[in-house]
Amino acid sequence: MTQEQCARLYETCYMRVFSYVMTLAGDRSLAEEITQETFYRAFTHQRDFRGESDEVTWLCAIAKNLFVDETRRQSRRGQISKEMPDPIKSVAKTVEDRDSSFRIHLALHALEDPYKEVFELRVFGELSFREIGMIFGRTENWARVTYHRARIKLRERMGEA
């Protein structure tokens, strides 16, 4: 797998793998760590991919194994709490997540075109950069650059809020 193919796989599959690990772990930092390790393992052991399944399925299998390993490691160290999650904290987290989501949507709404549309097509429409470029009658590279500029603009606006 070339470096470009690895980058494309990372770009197209990162959020799906991260979301899957988040459902397993319920902890953002642990999910990020496992997701990063998943891609590292996939890139360094790419010869193990037999092509019998979708790449995302393969990545999620790696992530699940890493999660199980981490859970075992933590239980041996006595780091896993056997307590039930605090419902008050759970509600507070839900409210905080909704607030963050609302702020993101406000910032996205204020974003000018074509940044807004390219970002929405990529994130919500899950289109490839090639497909986005085709929609606008532009190149794949233009779509990539526009998407990344949109992300920068959103981050800046989120920092202001």
pLDDT tens-place string over residues 126-147: 788 998 889 899 999 999 999 9
22, 26, 30, 36 alpha-carbon torsion, rounded to 10°:
0
Tokens 């006595």, located at residue: 78
Distance CA 150, CA 135 (A): 17
Q: What is the pLDDT of residue 84?
A: 47
Q: What is the pLDDT of residue 5?
A: 75
Options 3.30.565.10, 3.40.50.970, 1.10.1740.10, 3.40.640.10; which CATH number does 3-76 get? 1.10.1740.10
Helix (H, G, I), strand (E, B) or coil at 114: coil
Mean pLDDT, rounded, for 36-46: 84
